[in-house]
Structure 1
């Protein structure tokens, strides 16, 4: 059922007491299917649960006009939902050229640095990301393959993040349920071709 995705997220949030009434929740939104579904679900849950939602998007400037279009897409979607949009562009390629490092690691570091900045300046207490059950399986398999499974094989449902909390409301849901939700609600999304390559893991 399509609404199973929303119900699972609501149950996880309620059972853990992640979002007290009156909270401000920042949703990390790339424009991809998982984060688009999360933004829509969190907007709906916020209307019923008494919390407000904003969205944060980072253009890593690695795909030229295509990634700039991702940012415009998320901004327009937020306008349609009546959700505050917070966006920035970070020249990851230039940072790697000047300072070295792995592109994906730099992307993640800079992305979360921006999320923390927005949370601090705009008084968001919770950051929500769209990791789901399939991501947990992928993480476990990669750690086993690398021989690094050390008693903590999965992805935590929540963790401290700065002065607030990072939560993953979709962690009990499958990618299949995310895609069904998008299809039933007619929600468009963007596709990052780099996510289809086997070169990197998230």
Structure 2
């Protein structure tokens, strides 16, 4: 196993050499063997990091003592951290297993930064990989859930993934290594332990070459996933365009992809969407139809699907910006300039001329509200803002971005950049003309 491990390191992890490494050491079989191989076979510059979660009474303290003694025996630095795991789990509303995982990795990253270690090595092996595969398969997953535990994830490295627990244990006995057993690993109330002790042994009885075949299968799946990722990136690059913090995708192009639902999953699952019938329904839905995830929204905007992070949604609809009389320039969500002029000259959508005597100050800028009405310049009568938006074929995003200039009586003076209100038009009785321009 020594030569195979060294060859594995040279082929896939040559970057570990000449770097300072931390090994996450529980005191169990896999982490002890990993530490031995790294220290005594590869000669890496390593330290040991141990978490005492204080969940198993004296057993937890026994594990800590074992790690400290092992570090002293092998002349390796040892870092130990004690956690009140149950309190953290209660405060965060999560299981103790999840709490232990969060606490562990948060401390590892802090330790690496503080003590200038480059990589964290963990003892995950082929049996752990198989357990994860079965768990994901049983819960329902896409292809990425079947690719197994990644050998490298950022600066976390798992060099033992090709090796089975049986191989690791045989090696440990050959080298007369000692390790400790966590009694909680034998409890089958946890899903992973149930799979470890009941499902996988049965599979190995059925097929003694299970682990070798599984490792080959994982390699094939990872290769297929990598090719698929390259294809999806290429298609996404061709179809996705960014515009004002949003991503727009042409509906017609999505409809032409086959199988459509598989492409939709590949494009949008990382944004937290799970209701794929609803997502596919957007392709035939009306403008404004929307699907929400915990972090994003996806909606139909005429011939496009638009993806937007919820944090990027315009929040100013509850905000009103006040503009006092004689103000010559306002800079806020929109920029406006105010100028008294003698006559109407330049006309365009970005400028209006109003009878200043008809205005009530202070003016204000706000978003539209349900029930808002105005009298569009050049037309007779009033119209609801919502109807104006519909007639002008506003998209949902355009509606949300549109600002209104109103006077103190909350009369709409200007749908800014689009249409002035007829009530403030300049006529033969006007004595003061105010030119308002958006920049």
Same fold (TM over 0.5): yes
Q: Which of 12-21 and 65-74 deviates more?
A: 12-21
Distance change (3 Å), C-alpha of 1:121 and 1:18? farther
Distance change (3 Å), C-alpha of 1:18 and 1:194? farther
Any conservation in 1 of the 2:16–2:119 contact (CA below 8 Å)?
A: no
Any conservation in 1 of the 2:33–2:172 contact (CA below 8 Å)?
A: yes
Q: Deviations over 1:1-56 (max 9, x none)?
A: xxx1x333322221124435421010000001111111111102342xxx301010
The residue that corresponds to 2:55 in the other structure is: 62
The residue that corresponds to 2:67 in the other structure is: 74
Counting only pairs closer than 5 Å after superposition, residues 179-194 of structure 1 correspond to structure 2 as 179-194=169-184
Which one has the bigger strand percentage?
2
User: Partners of 1:144 and 1:183 in 2: how far apart?
Assistant: 34
Q: Deviations over 1:127-176 (max 9, x none)?
A: 1100111111111111111112433411111110xxxx111111111101
The residue that corresponds to 2:342 in the other structure is: none
Query: Which of 68, 89, 93 matches 2:86?
Result: 93
Query: Which of 136, 141, 154 matches 1:143?
Result: 136
1:117 deviates by: 1.2
Match of 2:80, SS? strand
Counting only pairs closer than 5 Å after superposition, residues 18-57 of structure 1 correspond to structure 2 as 18-47=14-43, 51-57=44-50
The residue that corresponds to 2:101 in the other structure is: 108
User: Partners of 2:157 and 2:108 in 1: how far apart?
Assistant: 13
Match of 1:173, SS? coil
User: Partners of 1:20 and 1:76 in 2: how far apart?
Assistant: 25
Which one has the bigger helix percentage?
1
User: Partners of 2:87 and 2:12 in 1: how far apart?
Assistant: 40
Q: Deviations over 1:80-123 (max 9, x none)?
A: 00110011101101112233201111101100111111111111
Match of 2:76, SS? coil
- Structure 1: stretches of 5+ with no match in the other structure: none
User: Is the radius of gyration larger for structure 1 or structure 2?
Assistant: 2
User: Partners of 1:17 and 1:63 in 2: how far apart?
Assistant: 35
1:126 deviates by: 0.9
Q: Which of 140-149 and 125-134 deviates more?
A: 140-149
The residue that corresponds to 1:159 in the other structure is: 153
User: Partners of 2:6 and 2:156 in 1: how far apart?
Assistant: 16
Match of 1:19, SS? helix
The residue that corresponds to 1:197 in the other structure is: 187
Distance change (3 Å), C-alpha of 1:20 and 1:133? closer
The aligned length equals 191
TM-score, scaled relative to structure 1: 0.89
1:194 deviates by: 1.2
Any conservation in 2 of the 1:58–1:88 contact (CA below 8 Å)?
A: yes
The residue that corresponds to 2:158 in the other structure is: 168
User: Partners of 2:59 and 2:39 in 1: how far apart?
Assistant: 26
Q: CA RMSD in A?
A: 1.6
- Return the structure number with greater relative CO, CA threshold 8 A, min gap 6: 1
Distance change (3 Å), C-alpha of 1:18 and 1:105? farther
1:200 deviates by: 4.2
The residue that corresponds to 2:167 in the other structure is: 177
Any conservation in 2 of the 1:127–1:167 contact (CA below 8 Å)?
A: yes
